[in-house]
Amino acid sequence: MYSFFIGCDISKSYFDVSFFKDQKSIYLGQFSNDIPGFKLLIKQLKLNTEIPETSWLVCFENTGVYSKPLLEWLFSQGIPCREENALTISRSMGLRRGKDDKIDSKDICRYIFEKRDSIQPSKLSNPLIVKLKKLLSRRDFLVRHKQSLEVTLKDQQAVIDPPLFELLESRNDTLVEEYSRQIKEVEQLIQDLMNQDEEVKTNYDLAQSVVGIGKTTAAYLIAITENFSCFKDGRKLACYGGIAPFPNRSGTRIGKTRVSHLANKKIKSLLSNCVNASIMYDKEIRLYYNRKLSEGKEKGVVFNAIKNKLIHRVFAVIKRQTPYVRIMNYA
């Protein structure tokens, strides 16, 4: 399907490009990371191949805001591209010493050529999901700074003169109030955004019907899963969120089953809060939690099992398109 492969190593202002031809990666050059640079890139590539653009496959690492302009521009031109996880590419390169953008672009080009039969082009996210991710990122920023203000000054109270501490505390309280106000504004923007799309709003409400899942966690689940379209089931999301256990054995050695640290730590931490809420308000979860502890299970292991339960409950209500039912209420 694709017969011309291009690898790009993207930085803030520039990106290096290589293409695969005659069974080897050939370095093309460095281009500015903007529209004129993208146009010049296509012009230079056309001088090196007669293959139509629809049969090209451009690959580059996901570098956040730096790679998004190229991704969006290639989509607007109808050129297939793949925005790949940087760690996936890095681990495919084998043992390396040093760092060079030119060599990296060649390695990315070789990577996409070797994976040509199995890899699929990336898809653009729904504009609403893109906006939601930016709002959630802003909320995280505000919450972090608010918590920092609340904790830091209290820790210094013992070494600050009382009059000065009183002055600093009043200024600190003013800043905390301002951050709290901005957090509420962002949360209202998130709520308004959810109401703009009927399908997103329905899934948002269904996720919250699961006991323990709040507004913030539901919004994150919508953003991470692209409104539950990029994960087929709860197991895949559990793996992505770092709550799926994996075996740890080799030969005759059998180690303890553990979760992987290669995970989205944000959703993992949110689910920890959800577990506490579900133990408090869901009778079924509370009975399960107490039973497992009485059996001698470690608290962390039981918490992780409940996280998996919550994830699978959310996926069940989304698939069924009906709210969660507390069966214990009818027992």
Mind listing the pLDDT tens digit for each residue in 90-105? 888 887 788 889 999 9
Longest alpha-carbon distance in the chain? 77
**Taking CA 244 as the corner, what is the angle to CA 241 and CA 245, rounded to the nearest 5 degrees?**
140
**Taking CA 284 as the corner, what is the angle to CA 278 and CA 290, rounded to the nearest 5 degrees?**
85
**Percentage of the chain exceeding pLDDT 90:** 73
Helix/strand/coil for 307: helix
CB 59 within 8 A of CB 40: no
How far apart CA 23 and CA 114 sit, in angstroms, is 11
Of 167 and 52, the structure prediction assigns the larger pLDDT to 52
pLDDT tens string 175-215: 999 999 999 999 999 999 999 999 999 999 999 999 999 99
Helix/strand/coil for 56: strand
The pLDDT, as a whole number, for residue 136 is 96
Of the ranges 89-98, 199-208, 279-288, 306-315, which one carries the lowest mean pLDDT score?
Answer: 89-98
Compute the average pLDDT of residues 28-55.
Answer: 94
In the predicted model, is pLDDT for residue 153 greater than 80? no
CB contact set of 175 (below 8 Å; sequence gap of 6+): 149
Helix/strand/coil for 322: coil
How far apart CA 175 and CA 152 sit, in angstroms, is 13
The pLDDT, as a whole number, for residue 254 is 85
Structural element, H or E, at residue 216 = helix 215-224
The pLDDT, as a whole number, for residue 41 is 95
In the predicted model, is pLDDT for residue 331 greater than 90? no
Whole-model pTM: value is 0.87
Average pLDDT over the chain reads 92
The DSSP code for 295 is T
How far apart CA 70 and CA 8 sit, in angstroms, is 10
Question: Scanning the structure block, which residue is given the tokens 């031109």?
Answer: 77
The pLDDT, as a whole number, for residue 247 is 86
Q: Which strands form 24-32's sheet, in the order they lie side by side?
A: 24-32, 14-21, 4-10, 56-61, 81-84
